[in-house]
Amino acid sequence: MAEAMNFELVSPERLLVSEEVESVVVPGTEGYFTVLARHAPFMSTLKPGLVEVRGLSGEVHKIFVRGGFADVTPTGLTILADQATRLEDFDAAALADEIRLAEDHLANMGDDQTMRVSAEAKLSELREAQRWIISA
């Protein structure tokens, strides 16, 4: 049996997970990484993607995050997510509506390049979220 580590995933709305787990796969901005017990300490920013949590009995739970931070210590991992939703609770129709609104906003905005870049980044993030949800 693998060694247990503490894992917490917190969003601004609530604490989603607080339990002992075997491992967690995390979408870091520099690439995905896996955290096990006794991992070397480090911090990472997160990109939108799936966090895969392997429980002590081998079950895997998937949680979609939209950015945030991961704090790895020898005793565990804490993720502070900008937004987080368990995959089974994800509302794909609401995400599709959010993408349509972002596309409309981008199509109807003026020439302000700063605003345009920000709107394009948000739309890109939403589309990436949709790709992750569809592929999961």
DSSP string, 79-122: EEESSEEEGGG--HHHHHHHHHHHHHHHHT--S-HHHHHHHHHH
Band (pLDDT 50/70/90 cuts) for residue 1 is: low
29 and 65: one domain? yes
Domain region containing 103:
91-135
16 and 79: one domain? yes
| Residue pair 70/28 in contact by the 8 Å Cβ criterion | yes
Query: Is the Cα dihedral 5, 135, 44, 99 positive or negative?
Result: negative
Last residue of a domain, one of 71, 87, 103: 87
| Residue pair 125/66 in contact by the 8 Å Cβ criterion | yes
pLDDT of residue 136: 65
Q: Write out pLDDT tens, residues 53-109.
A: 999 999 999 999 989 999 999 999 999 999 998 888 877 888 889 899 989 988 888
Q: Write out pLDDT tens, residues 103-128.
A: 998 888 878 888 888 888 888 888 88
Rounded to two decimals, the pTM is 0.79
Structural domain count of the chain:
2
Token readout for 118 is: 């920000």
